[in-house]
Structure 1
Amino acid sequence: MNIPTHLAVLDDEVDITQLLATYLGHHGFRVSQVHSGKALMELMARDAPALVLLDLGLPGEDGFSIARALREHWRCGLVIVTGRGDAVDKVVGLEVGADDYVTKPFDLRELLARIKAVLRRLTPASAPPAPAPAEPAASTSLRFAQWQLDTAARRLLDPSGAEVALTTGEFDLLTALVTHAGRVLSRDFLLVHTRGRDGGPFDRTIDVQIGRLRRKVEADPDNPQIIKSVRGAGYILVPRVEAG
């Protein structure tokens, strides 16, 4: 028997959490409803879900701070579902590590598709195959500039061997760059390979995630030597990539 995937819905409006719990429950998910950041953290500690649906507009609480806490302590999918549709809020939401950003009012079918897309990216075996890499590598361990990317274990090790935490989107983006090292990849290409067909036209997504990646892998993020921008074309991973 398949174990249903556990989701958590954090929203201060009980009607919304009940609606989502009922709808997602009918589609085979186990859904926990919480109505405060404290309640979510208690749930994460005892029964962490695979994905959290997070509302930003919580009375007396900072939704972005809750998102940061999730990213610091747990590896789970994170979809922001909120009435705050301003472009600045979207950028900040992506910067703190959200895998997707959905504004209210939303279509339940679209939200379900986005949840499934994030969960697919969390499960390497179910991800769609990428185009053949520019540089062949039989091993799932790829080295570049003394960094090591393990595509099977979904881990990034820095030159000292310490693991560096990456969000799902950051890992998928870095994998696309590493497996196509030396090639300029357009934003559209990277958007498809990190968010799939459910990604939408929000072009800043890739730029935001590139900025986050640079802060993690570059000695000087303001003068990047590993992930370079190509004006009007996209991004390129410069160092040579080797298997091993």
Structure 2
Amino acid sequence: MEGMDKMPALSSEGTGYRALVVDDERPLAAIVVGYLERENFEVAVSYNGVDALARAREIDPDVVILDLGLPGMDGIEVCRGLRTFSDAYVVMLTARNAEMDTIIGLSVGADDYVTKPFSPRELVARIRAMLRRPRNGSADEPRSPEPRAGEIALRVFGALRIDVTGREVHLGESPVMLTRTEFDVLAALSSRPGMAFSRRQLIEAVWGESWVGNEHLVDVHVGHLRRKLGDDAAASRYVNTIRGIGYRMGTGQ
């Protein structure tokens, strides 16, 4: 298949972070690869969706930079496929006039988006901000209040249990499978249950203070989170909408 025999092997040196760049515009892909390699990422590249899914299974990337407008299998289908086996961060590259496609991309599991034309330096900075957020099994400290030595950071809201240290969520006895971004939004809200968070405050807590773009990105991730929690936006138990402000953690009752 096209692209498979031309993908570079991952280098043995670097940050330990693996990136997969997926774009059929080869000159643009080469620029993004170059910037990431200068930041000591281990980088692979693919030029179509089928190859991208195969490569992602092979290398288990930490982050995927994914063009939405791929020929054949587009970025939305690739992202949907990735989410069946990978918890990698996904940054979608979109055209400025593709707002609806961007929202659809976020709804199938993308974590962030960057509109074309974009600054590769800004893209790399955004990726680094993502990777500073803790992963499952990471030794990094969580953003939320630190547990005391030997204490499990368990937050309980009715039937919902959030283990911040283990980055696990249960609804009753059933585990809830969240993306890393969905978990981070839930962790931020549950860190201060009585506080109404504005979209900007959630963006700063989850995506970082330097993030720029449409703040309704938060609404898409909240909507996805609510669906997974079986939460009704009209009578929410876990994530309450505070009209004119943003969101607040509910009591679970």
* TM-score band w.r.t. shorter chain: 0.7 to 0.9
- Tell me: higher relative CO, structure 1 or 2? Use CA pairs within 8 A at least 6 residues apart: 1
Q: Which residue of 2 aligns with 1:142?
A: 155
Shift of residue 77, structure 1, vs aligned partner: 0.8
Corresponding position: 1:119 with 2:110 = no
Q: Distance in 1 between matches of 2:228 and 2:143?
A: 26
Question: Contact (CA 8 Å) 2:94, 2:102: kept in 1 or not?
Answer: no
Question: Contact (CA 8 Å) 2:26, 2:47: kept in 1 or not?
Answer: yes
Shift of residue 127, structure 1, vs aligned partner: 6.1
Q: 1:149 to 1:31 in 2, by over 3 A?
A: same
Identity, in percent, stands at 35
Q: Distance in 2 between matches of 1:228 and 1:219?
A: 9
Aligned pairs (5 A) from 1:62-73: 62-73=74-85
Question: Contact (CA 8 Å) 1:91, 1:204: kept in 2 or not?
Answer: no
Question: Contact (CA 8 Å) 2:31, 2:120: kept in 1 or not?
Answer: no
Q: Which residue of 1 aligns with 2:62?
A: 50
Counterpart code for 1:71: R
Q: Which one has the bigger helix percentage?
A: 1
Compute the TM-score of the two structures, normalised by the length of structure 1.
Answer: 0.87
- Calculate the aligned-residue CA RMSD, in Å: 2.5
Q: Which residue of 1 aligns with 2:5?
A: none
* Structure 2 gap segments, 5+ residues each: 1-12
Q: Distance in 2 between matches of 1:119 and 1:143?
A: 27
Q: 1:22 to 1:165 in 2, by over 3 A?
A: same
Q: Distance in 2 between matches of 1:67 and 1:179?
A: 29
Cα offsets for 1:190-237 (capped at 9, x unmatched) = 121111113224121111111111111135454322211121122121
Q: 1:212 to 1:129 in 2, by over 3 A?
A: closer
Aligned pairs (5 A) from 1:77-156: 77-123=89-135, 125-126=139-140, 129-130=143-144, 138-156=151-169
Corresponding position: 1:159 with 2:168 = no
Aligned residues between the structures: 237
Paired residue for 1:206, among 215, 218, 238? 218
Cα offsets for 1:27-86 (capped at 9, x unmatched) = 101110111111111112221111100001111222111111112221111001233543
Counterpart code for 1:208: V
Q: Distance in 2 between matches of 1:188 and 1:219?
A: 23
Q: 1:73 to 1:128 in 2, by over 3 A?
A: closer
* Structure 1 gap segments, 5+ residues each: none
Compute the TM-score of the two structures, normalised by the length of structure 2.
Answer: 0.84
Q: Distance in 2 between matches of 1:60 and 1:84?
A: 21
Aligned pairs (5 A) from 1:158-237: 158-160=171-173, 162-237=174-249
